[in-house]
């Protein structure tokens, strides 16, 4: 028995065929979205804008599923009709305006060219004013709404975007019968759902991003929404009442799509989740296991059994029951930029190409902690966790006249390691145990230097997820559970996920050295992050120079 995992990323979609018995990956294929720039529709007049053409999701799906099936066919015993279920993950929050038949407006001739009628991609920040206003109004009238997302509502999320559409493109807002998150819409298309009210919505995107919670009976109440705009209150009736965790099905594969994809009609389609959440499942998330998906930014996921009580954790952007694993609170934190900071340094500032990463790593391979005398803050894109403050920026301290670009690169890696530490320490402080860390994503696989620094800085062993396609694998696992190939998620994860043989263990000497640097990092973190408003920073540069001198000897 096999399942199919579909992973909608920012620039492309990937299909992965997986054997339910042991997680063997039989074949995968990727299709890049044809529209816009690497699949993203941009507006030269506003760099905040990022949209996507919904038609790309459909045309690329055929392409990558066909490709993955063709590759899987090489494995003896595989046939497409042995695929028993499908699981889909996508980016998010990426809401799509749809008509009364659940058709994406952006695919209808009338709206085809209208940017506001397309999918509002997760990284669209046009609605930053609306986000600030929602934060302000919630703080005043419904503090509980944002208590679970670090007390700050984001411009990347559902309500900010829809409200911004209402303000700037009222014609699109009026034409939209409803709005559906991409991770809910794709499964609904596969299941042939033609009424937005009948689209099965996942708790994962609904959770803090749409401010959905069982505590207050679903979405934000109409009175609150009317304070933003009466039309948002009216929209509430055309959205959904109940959101579901991954035990629910989004429906059965409809005949039309079964034929397009060459699969059996009627096989169950799992509820959609956001990419990192299925990625966490595909990386073996469990109570006590933190999964770090390290990419342009990071997403750090943990789970706590729903039978336990979880406090609101200051600065943690999402604590949602059922968001990742059914029966668990999903806890989501993250760093606003990790790979993006390295890319900025290597490609924008140093004007290097992909080869420069490895070249610089080599140049500093023999350096010991503190030898460069540098210390950095990883806030070039603000700080998502634990300060929840987009109005922060990067800092580099300790440069002399001899500091090299390689040393600065390493200091930036170390800065992200200190940032990772802050997340681990914060969630542990609030009772979420972290006994094991599994990292997934391209950087975790490609940069042993980074992984070793993370181990040395955090004092914890870093493991690497077995699959390079952890998100698609998570979708395939969800599909396998739904179709009954495994009795529940833990059983499916045990059978279908793995970690790589290589483990990065902290080195005691380097760990000691990093402790000193970490204390200095914290003094900068607290001073510039507003935690300490009477900071004594007079020793920071001197201490770094002293550490540097002794490290160089």
User: Tokens representing 419?
Assistant: 């940032």
| 6 DSSP assignment | E
Q: How far is the CB of 317 from a second copy (least distance, A)?
A: 19
Question: With contact defined as beta carbons under 8 Å apart, do 36 and 489 qualify?
Answer: no
- Binding track, positions 394-423, relative to a second copy; x by CB under 8 A: xxxxxxxxxxxx--x---------------
Q: Of 299, 260, 280, 311, give the one whose Cα is nearest residue 431.
A: 311
Q: How far is the CB of 529 from a second copy (least distance, A)?
A: 7
Task: Please tell me the distance from the alpha carbon of residue 454 to that of residue 434, in angstroms, as a whole number.
Answer: 15
Bridging pattern class, strands 328-333 and 375-377:
unpaired
- Binding track, positions 314-343, relative to a second copy; x by CB under 8 A: -----------------------x--xx-x
Question: With contact defined as beta carbons under 8 Å apart, do 416 and 380 qualify?
Answer: no
- Binding track, positions 375-394, relative to a second copy; x by CB under 8 A: ----xxx---------xxxx
Size of interface with a second copy, in residues (CB under 8 A) = 44
* Window of 228-236, 372-380, 439-447, 481-489 that interacts with a second copy by CB under 8 A: 372-380
Q: How far is the CB of 422 from a second copy (least distance, A)?
A: 17
Counting contacts by CB under 8 A, is residue 445 touching a second copy? Answer: no
Task: Please tell me the distance from the alpha carbon of residue 499 to that of residue 447, in angstroms, as a whole number.
Answer: 16
Counting contacts by CB under 8 A, is residue 70 touching a second copy? Answer: no
Coil, strand or helix: which one is 348?
helix
Coil, strand or helix: which one is 536?
coil
Q: How far is the CB of 112 from a second copy (least distance, A)?
A: 31
* Window of 68-76, 235-243, 345-353, 468-476 that interacts with a second copy by CB under 8 A: 345-353
Nearer to a second copy, 252 or 394 (CB): 394
Using CA of residue 388, residue 440, residue 350, residue 125, what is the dihedral sign?
Answer: negative
* Window of 81-89, 201-209, 495-503, 537-545 that interacts with a second copy by CB under 8 A: 537-545
Coil, strand or helix: which one is 12?
strand
Mapping DSSP onto H, E and C, the string for 448-511 reads: HHHHHHHHHHHCCCEEEECCCCHHHHHHHHHHHHHCCCCCCHHHHHHHHCCEEEEEECCCHHHH
Q: How far is the CB of 530 from a second copy (least distance, A)?
A: 3
Q: How far is the CB of 546 from a second copy (least distance, A)?
A: 8
Nearer to a second copy, 231 or 405 (CB): 405
* Window of 59-67, 275-283, 459-467, 540-548 that interacts with a second copy by CB under 8 A: 540-548
* Window of 37-45, 73-81, 158-166, 525-533 that interacts with a second copy by CB under 8 A: 525-533
CA distances in angstroms from 215 to 148, 219, 232, 420, listed in the order given: 12, 10, 21, 31
CA dihedral of residues 244, 295, 377, 453 (deg, nearest 10): 110
Peptide linkage before 56 cis (omega within 30 of 0): no
- Binding track, positions 179-198, relative to a second copy; x by CB under 8 A: --------------------
Nearer to a second copy, 452 or 523 (CB): 523
Task: Please tell me the distance from the alpha carbon of residue 336 to that of residue 410, in angstroms, as a whole number.
Answer: 18
Task: Please tell me the distance from the alpha carbon of residue 544 to that of residue 14, in angstroms, as a whole number.
Answer: 46
Nearer to a second copy, 403 or 498 (CB): 403
Nearer to a second copy, 1 or 350 (CB): 350
Counting contacts by CB under 8 A, is residue 363 touching a second copy? Answer: no
Q: Which residues would be at the binding site for a second copy (CB under 8 A)?
A: 337, 340-341, 343-344, 348-351, 373, 379-381, 391-405, 408, 527-530, 533-538, 540-542, 544-545
């Amino acid at each position: 028995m096999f399942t199919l995992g579909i992973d909608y990323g920012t620039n492309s979609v990937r299909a992965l065929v997986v054997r339910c018995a042991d997680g063997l990956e039989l074949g995968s294929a990727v299709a890049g979205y044809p529209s816009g720039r690497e699949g993203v529709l941009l507006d030269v007049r506003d760099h905040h804008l990022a949209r996507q053409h919904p038609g790309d999701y459909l045309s690329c799906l055929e392409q990558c599923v066909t490709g993955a099936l063709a590759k899987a066919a090489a494995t003896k015993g595989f046939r497409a009709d042995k695929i028993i279920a499908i699981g889909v993950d996508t980016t998010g929050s990426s809401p799509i305006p749809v008509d009364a038949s659940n058709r994406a407006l952006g695919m209808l001739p009338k709206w085809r060219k209208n940017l506001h009628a397309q999918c509002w991609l997760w990284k669209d920040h046009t609605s930053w004013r609306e986000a600030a206003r929602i934060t302000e109004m919630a703080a005043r009238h419904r503090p509980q709404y944002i208590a679970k997302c670090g007390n700050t509502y984001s411009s990347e999320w559902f309500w900010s975007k829809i409200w911004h559409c209402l303000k700037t493109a009222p014609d699109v807002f009026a034409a939209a019968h409803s709005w559906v998150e991409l991770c809910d819409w794709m499964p609904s298309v596969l299941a042939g759902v033609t009424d937005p009210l009948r689209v099965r919505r996942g708790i994962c995107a609904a959770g803090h991003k749409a401010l959905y919670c069982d505590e207050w009976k679903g979405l934000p109440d109409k009175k609150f929404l009317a304070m933003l705009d009466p039309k948002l209150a009216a929209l509430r009736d055309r959205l959904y009442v109940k959101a579901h965790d991954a035990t629910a099905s989004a429906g059965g594969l409809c005949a039309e799509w079964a034929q397009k994809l060459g699969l059996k009609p009627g096989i169950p389609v799992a509820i959609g989740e956001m990419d990192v959440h299925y990625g966490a499942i595909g990386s073996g998330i469990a109570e006590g296991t933190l999964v770090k998906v390290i990419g342009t930014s990071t997403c750090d996921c943990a789970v706590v059994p729903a039978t336990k009580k979880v406090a609101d954790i200051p600065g943690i952007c999402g604590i949602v029951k059922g968001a990742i694993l059914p029966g668990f609170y999903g806890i989501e934190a993250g760093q606003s930029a990790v790979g993006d900071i390295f890319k900025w340094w290597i490609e924008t500032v140093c004007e290097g190409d992909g080869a420069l990463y490895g070249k610089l790593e080599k140049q500093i391979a023999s350096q010991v902690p503190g030898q460069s005398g540098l210390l950095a803050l990883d806030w070039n894109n603000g700080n998502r966790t634990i300060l929840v403050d987009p109005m922060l920026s990067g800092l580099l301290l300790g440069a002399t006249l001899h500091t090299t670009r390689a040393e600065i690169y390493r200091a930036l890696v170390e800065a992200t390691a200190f940032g990772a530490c802050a997340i681990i320490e914060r969630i542990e402080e609030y009772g979420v145990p972290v006994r094991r860390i599994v990292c997934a994503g391209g950087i975790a696989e490609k940069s042993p230097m980074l992984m070793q620094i993370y181990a040395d800085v955090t004092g914890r062993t870093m493991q690497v997820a077995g699959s390079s396609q952890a998100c698609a694998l998570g979708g395939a696992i969800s599909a396998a559970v739904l179709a009954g190939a495994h009795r529940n998620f833990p059983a499916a994860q045990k059978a279908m996920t793995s970690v790589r043989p290589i483990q990065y263990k902290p080195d005691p000497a380097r760990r000691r050295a990093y402790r000193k640097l970490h204390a200095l990092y914290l003094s900068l973190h607290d001073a510039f992050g507003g935690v300490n408003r009477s900071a004594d920073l007079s020793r920071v540069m001197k201490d770094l120079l002293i550490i540097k001198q002794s490290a160089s000897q």
